[in-house]
Amino acid sequence: QSALTQSASVSGSPGQSITISCTGTSSDVGDYNYVSWYQQHPGKAPKLLIYDVTDRPSGVSSRFSGSKSGNTASLTISGLQAEDETDYFCSSYTSSGHVVFGGGTRLTVL
Amino acid sequence: QVQLQESGPGLVKPSQTLSLTCNVSGGSISSGTYYWSWIRQHPGGGLEWIGYIYYSGSAYYNPSLKSRITISVDTSKNQFSLELSSVTAADTAVYYCARDRTGYNAFDIWGRGTMVAVSS
């Protein structure tokens, strides 16, 4: 399958909200509510932020929220903080029973 | 607290087979609802799902890699393994093992990752 499409970069000022989008197809993002979002700091393993489109694992800040419309999923980070500056990846379960990731978005906090 | 740890050679020659093992500690690999996964990340690149396995041995593979992959599980040792055959330089990556908490793409626990270079 092709990777999900994410914008390469996004930026925002401290305290603001930003949204990262993730576009797939009717065979993945559009077909199931099984979209996840990960945060990855340099040299570290990814951290699960959101799963099943909107659910947050225990311990993840409520500043992170997820949504989906059609074939596009979104991650919103509210109250931006300097520590949020890093890479974010989306992923989706597919109709073939596999998993596909997005190419990643680099968030810059201005 | 469940922890995952990858192990295996950091250098593999072209055309050979890459073999990695993920040791699961702090919990049983046979706990019913989890799928045990391999994911890789090329240098400076995005993440690529390789495949995952259930404790019963049922495995699911990335179609683009399927002909070269074998993922197996050893419940007696509480570990699972990856074999990737006929490697090329394109297989150079950081390889992560991870736990999928739902079986539908929710990788909640990750190993630290192990860098594998393919070079003669």
Q: Are strands A35-40 and A47-50 parallel, antiparallel or unpaired?
A: antiparallel
Closest C-alpha to B102, from A28, A69, A25, A55: A55
Q: Does B48 touch chain A (CB under 8 A)?
A: yes
Six token digits for residue A87: 């890479």
Binned at pLDDT 50, 70 and 90, residue B33 comes out as: confident
Are B107 and A104 in contact (CB < 8 Å)? no
Query: Number of C-alpha atoms within 13 angstroms, CB side, residue B116?
Result: 31
Q: Is A11's pLDDT higher than 80?
A: yes
| C-alpha distance from residue B52 to each of A13, A61, B19 (Å) | 39, 28, 15
- Is there a contact between B107 and A46 if contact means CB atoms under 8 Å apart? yes
The pLDDT of B37-44, averaged and rounded, is 95
Sign of the alpha-carbon dihedral angle for B97, A91, B94, B83: positive
Q: What pLDDT is recorded for position B31? A: 82
B21 lies within 8 A of chain A by CB: no
Which of B46, B63, B104 has its CB closest to that of A93? Answer: B104
Judged against a pLDDT cut of 70, whether residue A94 lies above it is answered with yes
The model's confidence at residue A2, banded by pLDDT at 50, 70 and 90, is: low
Q: Which residues of A touch B63 (CB under 8 A)?
A: 1, 96, 98
From B48, B108, B113, residue closest to A101, measured CB to CB: B48
Spell out where chain A has E strands. 5-6, 9-12, 18-23, 35-40, 47-50, 64-69, 72-77, 87-93, 99-101, 105-109
With CA atoms as reference, the chain B residue closest to A51 would be B106
For B69-114, what is each residue's pLDDT tens digit? 999 999 999 999 999 999 999 999 999 999 999 888 999 999 999 9
A9 touches chain B (CB under 8 A): no
Phi, psi of A97, deg, nearest 5: 85, 20
CA–CA distance, A99 with A96 (Å, rounded to integer): 9
